[in-house]
Amino acid sequence: MNKIKVAPSILSADFSCLDREIKKVEAAGADMLHIDIMDGHFVPNITIGPAVVKCIRRATRLLLDVHLMIEAPQKFIDAFVDAGSDMITVHIETIGEAKIRELKAKLKAKGVKLGVSLNPATPLDKIKGVLDAADFVLIMSVEPGFSGQKFIPGAITKIKELRSIYQGEIAVDGGINDLVAGELIRAGADILAAGSYIFGAKDAKDAIERIRDGAK
């Protein structure tokens, strides 16, 4: 089994001291940072833009997984690449197959990985036509928009089905803690994005290790 990668989601971090929060999870053994970008249209929340991602890039050497939960992601790809993103995830609900393939070519030329995500209510069939273009797939296990939501168990079935037809990395985002991590890993997940469970913990290192322990 490949090493499980843990991606603390900065949506749950204290933005008044974001640099310290990032350093905390970096020292605790995080593999990457998950950065949720929301525009108030595709999801009912507004978060941050390329300027903040650029500042985060200066604060850490961790991989930056930038999750574009926005209406027209293709309009902002260049800005987020220039800001220092290592991985960019777009939602199948907001962009068509042809555009995804265009993005794949553009990002590959820049050395940036492309992820394709789908919401809990979106059937897996919706992304089957672009799996060959995806460097990884992100399964949402909560409704996108806000941190601290309860994990939706149906994500486990979706991960199992995806793993049976897809050999790339599978990421999961939403409601992840030590209680569900094992099920997700056994279903086929490789990357677990967790926000409040890690940033809200007294010991971030212990929280990250408890998530990884699900692979045992």
Q: What is the pLDDT of residue 143?
A: 87
Q: Where residue 13 falls among pLDDT bands split at 50, 70, 90?
A: very high
Q: Is the pLDDT of residue 191 over 90?
A: yes
Q: Is the pLDDT of residue 149 over 90?
A: no
Active-site residue identified among 31, 65, 173, 190: 173
Q: What is the mean pLDDT of residues 138-160?
A: 88
Query: Quick check: 49 and 71 in contact, CB under 8 A?
Result: no
Computed over every residue of the chain, the mean pLDDT equals: 94
Query: Quick check: 187 and 156 in contact, CB under 8 A?
Result: yes
Q: Per-domain residue ranges for the chain?
A: 5-215
Q: What is the pLDDT of residue 148?
A: 66
Q: Is the pLDDT of residue 1 over 70?
A: no
Q: Does the annotation mark 36 as catalytic?
A: yes
Q: Does the annotation mark 173 as catalytic?
A: yes
Q: What is the pLDDT of residues 33-68, one digit of tens each?
A: 999 999 998 988 899 999 999 999 999 999 999 999
Helices 50-59 and 18-27 pack at an angle, to 10 degrees, of 50
Q: Is the pLDDT of residue 215 over 80?
A: no
Q: What is the pLDDT of residue 152?
A: 92
CA distance 94 to 9: 22
Q: Is the pLDDT of residue 6 over 90?
A: yes
Q: What is the mean pLDDT of residues 92-97?
A: 95
Homologous superfamily of domain range 5-215: Aldolase class I (3.20.20.70)
Active-site residue identified among 31, 36, 39, 190: 36
Q: Sort 121 into a burial class: Cβ within 10 Å, 0-12 / 13-18 / 19+.
A: exposed
Q: Where residue 3 falls among pLDDT bands split at 50, 70, 90?
A: confident
Q: What is the mean pLDDT of residues 165-182?
A: 95
Q: What is the pLDDT of residue 151?
A: 92
Q: What is the pLDDT of residues 101-147, one digit of tens each?
A: 999 999 999 999 999 999 999 999 999 999 999 999 999 999 887 66
CA distance 96 to 21: 36
Query: Quick check: 36 and 8 in contact, CB under 8 A?
Result: no
